Amino acid sequence: MADLVSWFTKLTRLILYHDLMLQLDSSDEVQVLSHPSHLHQVWGTTPAVGTEELFLCPQTLTMLLANCPSLSELQAPLHEAIMLTDRFQARSPFFPPVFDNCRELTLGSYLRRSTRSATMMGTTTLPCIKKAHKLYPNLEQLQVSTVDRNVLTFVPKFSRLKRLAIMYGGRGGMCPFSPYITDMLQALHLTHLTIKFFKGILLSTIARHCPNLECLSFLDCNLSDEAVQPGSFTKLRSLALSDCNMDKAFFTLLKDAEGLTNLHLDGGWGIALYIKGPAEPLQPRPIHREMEFLNLDTNWSLRALDVSPEELRSFIDSMPMLRRLSTDSYDIRLCMQNYYPHVKLTWPTCTTCMAEFPKVNLVQDYIWHSLHIDNNEDCEDT
């Protein structure tokens, strides 16, 4: 990235979606360019390591801030940069707008492993989130990864938040839903909510405090098995669920969210239940006729899912608006190719990134194997 910035100083927008190279820097010194860059926006993702943003080391991040006086958007965690703002103001002739003009912010980072656990790479501390609140009091979107529950209690102070993602990675296991998430829901007016590694989640509490919720994600969480009251999630359009083994909560949530256009199911249990429907014959399977994007994140065969080909075709037939389906299941892909060629088939993870990322250098090969092959017990996993 440093090379791109130095070679193209008049560039205003740099997009590195599906970045194949971790932006690391072997030097401890920050490179200073002879001419300031005109860069305004830096966007990107790193699917090979399970992140939806760029992977920037502190030196690369500092290089961007030091050489790009107009930088206003940076799709990368900023927890380390925020702690340097006072020093940056004292030493630099300019203060990048990324420090005072953002509506979206990511603090902390983690890498998602193939085992559906995560490796925490950077954690948000209490001093960091307090500093962030001073810099960005009007944030509308916040993504926080932390091992400190005190950070969770501070989040409601961002009173204008509409979109919130919280990932907890403490060594004690999952974090209780109440009082931490409950207090956030009471204080904020959210339209998008993502929570990761929490337990005791009450759908009734979410429905009561978030009547305008459009996007909801529970990843590696435990739900309380309570029935969702009709009308609780009628505005929901996007839903992501990991296996939770709670039939009542699972089916009543899906039945109430009949307007879903985007659904992500992670794990064989939930996918099999959704395709087959409830065990009781008098309870119909939830139907989503407006579904456009469906992600069935499993590599299980139909036999392993205990689903017949007829059940799968009946399931797909109930979604006349379906445009794209993502899955690693060979059987499901074969069915879609033969019976529903108009539906675009994709993989849950970018296959090019997964194949090419470890070839770049030995460091990336080691990281890739740690995430997807080895059972690395030395990492801080959740």
Average pLDDT, the chain: 89
pLDDT at res. 371 = 84
Q: Is 103-260 a domain of CATH 3.55.50?
A: no
What is the percentage of the chain residues whose pLDDT exceeds 90? 61
The string of pLDDT tens digits covering residues 168-196 is 987 788 999 999 999 999 999 999 999 99
What is the percentage of the chain residues whose pLDDT exceeds 70? 92
Which position has the higher pLDDT, 343 or 83?
Answer: 343
Helix (H, G, I), strand (E, B) or coil at 144: strand
Q: How far is CA 155 from CA 184, 188, 196, in A?
A: 7, 10, 15
How do beta strands 175-176 and 141-146 pair?
Answer: unpaired
As a whole number of angstroms, the distance between CA 28 and CA 6 comes to 18
pTM value is 0.91
Which class for 329: exposed (0-12), middle (13-18), buried (19 or more C-beta within 10 A)? buried
* Contact call for residues 161 and 207 (beta carbons, < 8 A): no
pLDDT at res. 231 = 94
Q: pLDDT confidence of 25, banded at 50, 70, 90?
A: low
Give me the mean pLDDT over the 344-357 stretch.
Answer: 93
Q: What is the DSSP letter of 157?
A: G
Give me the mean pLDDT over the 37-57 stretch.
Answer: 88
The string of pLDDT tens digits covering residues 212-232 is 999 999 988 999 999 999 999
* Domain boundaries of the chain, sorted by first residue: 1-99, 103-260
Span of 39-43, 65-69, 268-272, 370-374 with lowest mean pLDDT? 370-374
Task: Say which amino acid occupies 78.
Answer: L
For 82, the enclosing helix (H) or strand (E) is helix 79-82
Alpha-carbon Rg for the chain in angstroms: 22
